[in-house]
């Protein structure tokens, strides 16, 4: 144990060091793209530039990373970004100069001014449109989250080892640790959340068995908190919840808390797990290893997954998983995939800053790359969580089972983010199947729930339609072709073709997953499919 | 109908409908092992209804309570 302890401490400190080094340039996945016309009257197709200066106001919160302007200039013009002049890249098209400016911003707000050069009156701007790309949310967990978690856990884990034999003491320590972190980052949220959890435990374990009204009351509480904090309250309370200016406007791990709470409430309604103590319940909901990014454990698994003793093998296994996770996150996801695709001069900015997204192999590379990035990034968090959990004496469930080799869309969803799809199957799909006796409706609803769980936007709705349709169609095809076996095709070839089809389909959905503006996402989606015909 | 005869009928249905092994035991995990997937549940629910006249309300049971032939037989026997 002593040598295992030293190894894990070194690994956690190395991980924390990586996190610190990456803070200045932490990659983010989820971009919002806006396109529009600001500062100009929509009805005005062109205007003399010398009549007045034109200012494109970049709103607070917009353009935190990059903004792009695409405009057509008759004649010559000068561009200013606040006090800085910018050389646009222009290409002459007859009398027209088609110009594109890409501006990289920090957190400060920039306005873009366009003046006439030499004050020539004949200079006009036409079709002034612009797009703003903004990074709006972090990937599954930010480096800041992980930095806090890992450095804190480096201190907590040795203490937990000492206290592990005393189940009650060690679980209270988990609760106090997690509550402390949440309170430090988001005090208001932590008070409301813990109050809600304690109340729901009191009601749920005593009164909810078989009583629909109480179950719905508890559901309503969970859903209200989720909607208020995650969607409505984001802007309202965000300013109070960011004491360290770390950009943490969303309550840490909110979705994960409530999804576990709902799962437990359904169990209580069925009369299961009613003997769980408040200590065990809170430590399950706020288990530090799975706090920022899952996996979503079940209460029964959490209770049975606690080992009486943390063995040397547990520690070695845990450390190995953490190292695998760090390798996937830092080397594969961030450096090999993210930077070429999403870095400041990456493919994403090149494509998304165009006003017209045109089909081409770059689109295929972007979306397939996006799928691979999310897989390596997210599964890395799961590896780290599973590893940390094991070091703390708990068996955290697996979350990914090589979804990149899935041979059908249903098979894909059995392998991808398994703990979330399992939750949806238990709490949405199965009850709806009982109610409707229809496969397609629950399948769509599950995908809708997964989509809305990520973000309450039209793009994620389209993502849900994309995946729900595939699942429903596959169900129908399997129903019609039951017992049919394709002859004369080598199984390996068949498998390879099916794996390819699944990757192509799932990657298409990433058009909606990474761009919030539904019209831009749809452009990208259609361009992706067109691109295959151009190959 | 007693629990034993429910057990035998469910076992025969699973072998026949989903091509599960003939030696399927009462404790073999059906869903958690991946032997059946959630899409197969619909056929199972229709079978419960037709064969035993048993149907469940939406949140009454979960897949984890129908994970083996023995568990299914117990749930159905409890409803009859």
Question: What mean pLDDT value characterizes chain A?
Answer: 72
Instruction: Read off the pLDDT of each residue in A43-50 and give the average, rounded to a whole number.
Output: 38
Q: Measuring CA to CA, which residue among A20, A27, A33 is closest to residue A352?
A: A33
Q: What pLDDT is recorded for position A322? A: 87
Site from A298, A398, A415, A434 to mutate, B interface, most B CB atoms within 10 angstroms:
A434
Instruction: Write the secondary structure of A415-464 as one string of H (helix), E (strand) and C (coil).
Output: HCCHHHHHHHHHHHHHHHHHHHCCCHHHHHHHHHHHHHHHCCCHHHHHHH
For chain B, say whether A339 makes contact (Cβ under 8 Å): no
CA distance B43 to chain A (A): 9
* Cβ-nearest to A434 among B37, B39, B58: B58
Residue A394 near residue A487, CB atoms below 8 Å: no
Distance, CA of A210 to CA of A213 (rounded, Å)? 9
Question: CB–CB of A433 and B37 under 8 A?
Answer: no
- Radius of gyration of chain B from Cα atoms? 11
Q: What pLDDT is recorded for position A349? A: 61
Q: What pLDDT is recorded for position A22? A: 46
ipTM greater than cut 0.85 = yes
Distance, CA of B72 to CA of B56 (rounded, Å)? 12
Q: What pLDDT is recorded for position B41? A: 86
For chain B, say whether A439 makes contact (Cβ under 8 Å): yes
Q: What are chain A's domains? A: 35-135 (2.60.120), 184-307 (no CATH), 406-535 (no CATH)
Question: What mean pLDDT value characterizes chain B?
Answer: 88
CA distance A212 to chain B (A): 9
Contacts of B34 in chain A (CB under 8 A): 414
Q: What pLDDT is recorded for position A6? A: 57
Poorest-pLDDT segment among A235-244, A330-339, B16-25: A235-244
Question: CB–CB of B39 and A430 under 8 A?
Answer: no
Distance, CA of A147 to CA of A320 (rounded, Å)? 19
pLDDT in tens, A290-349: 877 778 899 999 999 999 888 889 989 998 998 898 888 888 887 888 878 876 566 776
Q: Enumerate the domain spans of chain B.
A: 3-79
Distance, CA of A256 to CA of A158 (rounded, Å)? 26
DSSP character at residue A40: S
Facing residues of A137 across strands? A30
pTM of the model: 0.75
**A61 pLDDT exceeds 90?**
no
Residue B38 near residue A425, CB atoms below 8 Å: yes
Q: What pLDDT is recorded for position A356? A: 58
Question: CB–CB of B59 and A269 under 8 A?
Answer: yes
Report how far apart, in Å, the C-alpha atoms of B7 and of each of A12, A68, B41 are: 52, 67, 17
Q: What pLDDT is recorded for position A151? A: 66
* Cβ-nearest to B59 among A266, A410, A433: A266
For chain B, say whether A209 makes contact (Cβ under 8 Å): no
Question: CB–CB of A429 and B38 under 8 A?
Answer: yes
Q: Is A330 or A409 the better-scoring residue by pLDDT?
A: A409
- Confidence class for position A275, pLDDT limits 50, 70, 90: very high
Question: CB–CB of A215 and B59 under 8 A?
Answer: yes
Distance, CA of A256 to CA of A531 (rounded, Å)? 37
Residue A433 near residue A446, CB atoms below 8 Å: no
Q: Which helix (DSSP H) or strand (DSSP E) does residue A68 occupy?
A: strand A66-74
Strands A84-86 and A77-81: antiparallel
**A100 pLDDT exceeds 90?**
no
Residue A281 near residue A299, CB atoms below 8 Å: yes
Q: Is A228 or A313 the better-scoring residue by pLDDT?
A: A313
**A382 pLDDT exceeds 70?**
yes
pLDDT in tens, B33-79: 878 877 788 888 999 999 999 988 888 888 888 889 999 999 999 88
Question: CB–CB of A410 and B57 under 8 A?
Answer: no
- Confidence class for position A134, pLDDT limits 50, 70, 90: very low
Helix axes A212-226, A187-207, angle to 10 degrees: 170
For chain A, say whether B45 makes contact (Cβ under 8 Å): yes
- Domain covering B3-79, topology: 1.10.1200
Contacts of B58 in chain A (CB under 8 A): 431-432, 434-435
Question: CB–CB of B55 and A434 under 8 A?
Answer: yes
CA distance B4 to chain A (A): 25
pLDDT in tens, A143-193: 555 556 666 677 788 888 888 889 999 999 999 988 887 787 677 777 888
For chain A, say whether B19 makes contact (Cβ under 8 Å): no
């Amino acid at each position: 144990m002593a040598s295992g302890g030293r190894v894990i401490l070194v690994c956690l400190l190395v991980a924390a060091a990586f996190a610190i080094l990456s803070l200045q340039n932490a990659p983010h996945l989820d971009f919002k793209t806006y396109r529009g016309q600001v500062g100009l009257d929509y009805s005005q197709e062109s205007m003399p530039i010398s009549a007045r200066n034109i200012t494109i106001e970049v709103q607070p919160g917009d353009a935190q990373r990059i903004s792009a302007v695409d405009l057509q200039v008759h004649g010559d013009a000068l561009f200013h970004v606040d006090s800085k002049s910018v050389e646009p890249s222009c290409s002459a098209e007859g009398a027209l100069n088609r110009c594109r400016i890409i501006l990289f911003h920090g957190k400060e707000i920039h306005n873009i001014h366009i003046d006439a050069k030499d004050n020539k009156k004949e200079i006009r701007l036409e079709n002034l449109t612009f797009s703003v790309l903004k990074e709006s949310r972090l990937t599954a967990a930010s480096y800041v989250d992980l930095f806090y978690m890992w450095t804190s856990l480096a201190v907590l884990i040795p203490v937990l080892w000492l206290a592990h034999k005393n189940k009650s003491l060690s679980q209270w320590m988990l609760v106090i640790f997690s509550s402390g972190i949440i309170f430090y980052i988001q005090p208001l949220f932590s008070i409301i959340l813990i109050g809600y959890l304690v109340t729901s435990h009191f009601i749920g374990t005593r009164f909810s068995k078989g009583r629909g009204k109480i179950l719905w009351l508890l559901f309503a509480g969970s859903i209200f908190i989720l909607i208020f904090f995650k969607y409505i309250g984001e802007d309202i309370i965000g300013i109070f919840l960011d004491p360290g200016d770390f950009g943490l406007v969303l309550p840490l791990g909110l979705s994960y808390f409530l999804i576990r709470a709902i799962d437990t409430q359904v169990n209580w309604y069925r009369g299961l797990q009613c003997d769980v103590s408040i200590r065990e319940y809170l430590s399950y909901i706020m288990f530090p290893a799975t706090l920022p990014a899952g996996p979503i454990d079940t209460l029964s698994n959490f209770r049975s997954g606690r080992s009486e003793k943390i063995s040397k093998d547990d520690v070695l296994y845990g450390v190995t998983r953490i190292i695998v996770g760090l390798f996937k996150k830092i080397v594969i996801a961030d450096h090999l995939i993210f930077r070429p695709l999403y870095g400041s001069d990456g493919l994403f900015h090149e494509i998304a800053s165009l006003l017209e997204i045109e089909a081409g192999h770059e689109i295929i590379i972007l979306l397939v790359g996006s799928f691979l990035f999310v897989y390596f990034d997210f599964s890395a968090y799961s590896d780290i969580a599973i590893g940390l959990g094991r070091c703390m004496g708990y068996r955290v469930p697996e979350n990914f089972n090589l979804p990149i080799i899935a041979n059908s869309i249903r098979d894909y969803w059995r392998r991808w983010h398994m703990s979330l799809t399992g939750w949806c199957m238990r709490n949405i799909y199965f009850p709806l199947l009982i109610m409707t006796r229809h496969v397609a409706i629950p399948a769509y609803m599950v995908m809708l729930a997964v989509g809305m769980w990520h973000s309450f936007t039209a793009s994620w709705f389209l993502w849900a339609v994309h995946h729900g349709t595939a699942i429903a169609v596959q169900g129908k095809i399997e129903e019609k072709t039951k017992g049919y076996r394709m002859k004369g095709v080598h199984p390996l070839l068949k498998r390879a073709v099916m794996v390819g089809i699944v990757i192509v389909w799932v990657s298409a959905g990433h058009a909606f997953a990474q761009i919030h503006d539904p019209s831009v996402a749809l452009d990208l989606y259609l361009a992706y499919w067109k691109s295959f015909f151009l190959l | 109908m007693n629990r034993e005869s429910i057990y035998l009928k469910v076992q025969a249905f699973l072998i026949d409908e989903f091509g599960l092994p003939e030696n399927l035991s009462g404790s073999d995990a059906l869903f958690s092992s991946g032997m059946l997937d959630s899409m197969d549940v619909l056929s199972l629910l229709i079978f419960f209804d037709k064969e035993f006249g048993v149907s469940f309300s939406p949140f009454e049971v979960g897949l984890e309570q129908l994970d083996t032939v023995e568990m299914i037989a117990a749930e159905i026997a409890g409803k009859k």
